[in-house]
């Protein structure tokens, strides 16, 4: 590091202060909507502007913590998104393996199709999917919705998994094969343990994506007692002429919590490893 300039250089210090100020300003812009959410949730008389609750109260939470408003939609969300994530991750790991390890003629077109499908506007295919689900009696079922949600998450998930798997050197597997392991054993006992930070990224990304998805369950599920949290927040609005902002904020807070917590847990365990760097290099 003989080339590095002294950090005590006054120009350096001035630059650093300027950089920090710029960052704080941007962050201030980002944080205001979040602050509103936090404050309004504890303010029984919350409006749309940020204001300090007086008094702080749990009234909003008391009002919404009922079976119909909160508990059942949350549970439905966990079933739908948990199931969807499981299917997605399993199918992606399996699919990523040949894509990462073998050369075959259809590989490049397949990968390009996958990449294009990541951006596929799901709205565009909801109409035919609705028709298909009615035909085969999957409409308003968890199974059908889980499978479809898993499929919507599959392209990006395969893409990311494949790129993470590329980072695991094939030599390690070849050693396992020499020891008599089959391909799938090699995948399970050599590749997966080495790419678990990548897998965690895929899992969390998938779950957060599905947890936030409201359009798919909104179209595919009909019964009130099957709707997940993402949709019932929407019906929440329709039911009341006058919007009770405090309750909406409290509900939004609870609904956002699983995604936030899951992100925190994983990002802490991963340390700095939460990076799309390897995944988005193309």
Partner 1 sequence: MTVSATQPGATERWRRGLIQGMPLGPAVVLLGVFLAGPILYCLYAAFTDMALTGGTGAHFVGLDNFRKAFESPEFRQSLVYTLVFTLLSAIIGQNVLGMVLALLMRSSTAWIRATVSAIVIGAWVMPEVVAGYLWTAFLGDDGSLNHLLGMVHLPPQDWLFSVPILAVSLANIWRGTAFSMLVYSAALSEVPKEIEESATVDGAGTVQRLWSVTLPMIRRSITTNLMLITLQTLSVFGLIWTMTRGGPSNHSTTLPLFAYQQAFQLSQLGYGTALALVLLAIGAVFSLVYLRALRLEDGR
Within residues 155-214, the interface with partner 1 by CB under 8 A covers 155, 158, 170, 184, 208, 211-214
Specify the DSSP class assigned to residue 70.
Answer: I
Residues 57-86 that bind partner 1 (CB under 8 A): none
Q: How far is the CB of 54 from partner 1 (least distance, A)?
A: 17
The only residue of 103, 143, 178, 223 in contact with partner 1, by rule CB under 8 A? 103
The only residue of 44, 89, 99, 195 in contact with partner 1, by rule CB under 8 A? 99
Q: How far is the CB of 187 from partner 1 (least distance, A)?
A: 8
The only residue of 44, 87, 221, 266 in contact with partner 1, by rule CB under 8 A? 87
Rank residues 82 and 101 by Cβ distance to partner 1 and give the closer one.
101
Round to whole Å and give the CA distance between 15 and 20.
9
Round to whole Å and give the CA distance between 36 and 190.
47
Cα angle 70, 71, 77; round to 5: 90
The only residue of 60, 92, 203, 247 in contact with partner 1, by rule CB under 8 A? 92
Site of tokens 């999917």: 129
The only residue of 95, 176, 194, 270 in contact with partner 1, by rule CB under 8 A? 95
If binding is defined by CB under 8 A, does position 5 make contact with partner 1? Answer: yes
The only residue of 63, 74, 78, 132 in contact with partner 1, by rule CB under 8 A? 132
SS3 32: helix
If binding is defined by CB under 8 A, does position 42 make contact with partner 1? Answer: no
Rank residues 112 and 175 by Cβ distance to partner 1 and give the closer one.
112
Residues 214-273 that bind partner 1 (CB under 8 A): 214-215, 219, 230, 233-234, 245, 248, 252, 255-256, 259-260, 263
The answer to whether residues 197 and 270 touch, using CB atoms and an 8 Å cutoff, is yes
If binding is defined by CB under 8 A, does position 125 make contact with partner 1? Answer: yes
Closest C-alpha among 164, 66, 170, 43 to residue 35:
43
Q: How far is the CB of 254 from partner 1 (least distance, A)?
A: 10
Q: What residues contact residue 214 under an 8 Å CB cut-off, 6+ apart?
A: 230, 231, 233, 234
Tokens of 38: 């936090």
Size of the site for partner 1 (CB under 8 A): 91
If binding is defined by CB under 8 A, does position 276 make contact with partner 1? Answer: yes
DSSP string, 174-231: HHHHHTT--HHHHIIIIIHHHTHHHHHHHHHHHHHHHHH--HHHHHH---GGG--HHH
If binding is defined by CB under 8 A, does position 118 make contact with partner 1? Answer: yes
**In which region does residue 27 sit, left (phi positive, over 0), alpha (psi from -120 to 50) or beta (all else)?**
alpha
């Amino acid at each position: 590091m003989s080339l590095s300039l002294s950090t005590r250089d006054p120009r350096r210090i001035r630059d650093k202060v300027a950089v920090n100020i710029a960052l704080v300003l941007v962050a201030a812009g980002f944080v205001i909507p979040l602050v509103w959410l936090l404050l309004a949730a504890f303010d029984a008389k919350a409006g749309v502007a940020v204001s300090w609750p007086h008094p702080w109260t749990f009234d909003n939470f008391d009002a919404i913590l009922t079976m119909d408003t909160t508990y059942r939609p949350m549970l439905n969300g966990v079933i739908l998104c948990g199931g969807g994530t499981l299917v997605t991750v399993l199918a992606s790991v399996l699919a990523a393996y040949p894509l990462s390890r073998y050369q075959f003629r259809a590989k490049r077109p397949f990968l390009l199709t996958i990449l294009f499908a990541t951006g596929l506007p799901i709205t565009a295919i909801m109409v035919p999917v609705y028709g298909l689900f009615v035909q085969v009696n999957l409409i308003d079922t968890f199974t059908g919705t889980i499978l479809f949600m898993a499929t919507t998450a599959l392209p990006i998930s395969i893409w990311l998994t494949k790129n993470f798997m590329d980072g695991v050197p094939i030599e390690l597997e070849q050693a396992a094969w020499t020891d008599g392991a089959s391909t799938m054993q090699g995948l399970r006992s050599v590749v997966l343990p080495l790419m678990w930070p990548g897998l965690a990224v895929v899992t969390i990304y998938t779950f957060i994506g599905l947890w936030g998805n409201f359009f798919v369950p909104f179209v595919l599920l009909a019964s009130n007692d099957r709707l997940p949290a993402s949709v019932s927040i929407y019906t929440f609005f329709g039911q009341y002429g006058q919007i009770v902002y405090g309750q909406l904020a409290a509900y939004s807070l609870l609904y956002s919590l699983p995604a936030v917590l899951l992100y925190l847990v994983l990002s802490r365990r991963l340390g700095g490893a939460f990076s799309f760097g390897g995944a988005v290099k193309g």
